[in-house]
Structure 1
């Protein structure tokens, strides 16, 4: 049996800290610049124009021997059914074997990752290079 970790939304929200996410996104930009990280083409599908869509973003971190994907869907009418508008998950796999290492809820990751570049810009504007 291969160990596989599942991290649920409430745990992700407790574990994530915006300052930490900003630093991790900064590191990801550096790795991409050094060609130590690769992004794969985005998959996008619109189920109902302006009402429901999904995208899959994926990539590879060679130095960490992992690759993964984030599938996020947006369903604008979900709140009327007491469901969240944004739903998703992140799956991480070993790039030497293809074996899944774990998965986690993707909503909080998506929201924080989306906001992180603004935080990086704010921090960079205060730093003296």
Structure 2
């Protein structure tokens, strides 16, 4: 019988899972060619500022595989609703039967996204990290701060958001995590303060410009998960010592790398896949390096976190 796992049970399981380690292992397996990940399915609702992503795949040799449906409807907060929802279907790789349905309502997607940011920071954050910068004031901004606590000792943080009130709320929430956090007036001010910057918005226009960013900075961009979105100036990728993709194949079609290639700022052969950074085949070469990681969200992340939850709930 198919089991339906409600959000409450999923949230009870999450604290007992090392999500960062699970996602890290998944990226290495993906780069090693051990994971089948078809192209992302996408359905856009521009009139409602909404989108549906379908991500699915299988790790070779596993007993189960995962199909994830994730929605982001970014006008929802104005309606008193959360912006994210979705579910994960876990199926038998032996029979095709549905083993369980994880009614995660976007929580597992959000946590695996934040964990990917922590994985990148573990391997690419500058060694003399004094201040973290976050662009955005939503769920992912808070979760990035939360997960970065697991991989860095830095507790100074600056945050910029387009809405001053929402930015102030995010700063208060992040301060409760043990950070000394403050809101700043612009992306330029974030870049002037921080050596590790994480961008978390759904922007369609670049706002973090190459001229803002100092030598020795690492930037993780995770808001641009469709071809239309863009947070980073393409020249920032051109100036970077290293450009990292969660999936090279996927980032050629969406995200900051896609935009920079289309603008003629970089060539695709400059891009390094994250799994190779984790395994030590590529990495930061000097303290002055500017490095950029483009995280568009790969199905292997959903597979890994779903497997970990199933092991504790089914």
TM-score per shorter chain, which class?
A: 0.7 to 0.9
Secondary structure of the residue that 2:61 maps to in structure 1?
Answer: helix
Contact kept in structure 2, 1:18 and 1:112, CA below 8 Å: no
C-alpha contact 1:93 1:102 (8 A) present in aligned 2: yes
Counterpart for residue 45 of structure 1: 43
Let me know the Cα RMSD of the aligned residues: 2.3
The answer to which structure has the higher strand fraction is 1
Aligned to 1:110: 109
Q: Which has the higher contact order (CA 8 A, sep 6+)?
A: 1
Residues 38, 18 of structure 1: CA spacing in aligned structure 2 closer, same or farther, 3 A cutoff? Answer: farther
Say how many residue pairs are matched: 126
Partner of 2:65: 67
User: Which runs of no fewer than 5 residues in structure 2 stay unpaired?
Assistant: 128-279, 281-314
TM-score (norm 2): 0.37
Aligned counterparts, 1:11-22, within 5 A: 11-17=9-15, 20-22=18-20
Q: C-alpha separation between the residues in 2 aligned to 1:101 and 1:31?
A: 23
Contact 2:36 2:57 in 1 (8 A): yes
Pair member with larger Rg:
2
Residue aligning to 2:53: 55
Gaps of 5+ in 1: none
Q: C-alpha separation between the residues in 2 aligned to 1:13 and 1:104?
A: 11
CA apart distance, 1:76: 1.9
Provide the rounded CA distance (Å) in 2 between the counterparts of 1:84 and 1:74: 9
Match of 1:36 in 2: 34
Q: Which residue of 1 is the match for residue 119 of structure 2?
A: 120
Does the CA contact (< 8 Å) of 2:54 and 2:69 recur in 1? yes
TM-score for both structures, normalised by structure 1: 0.84
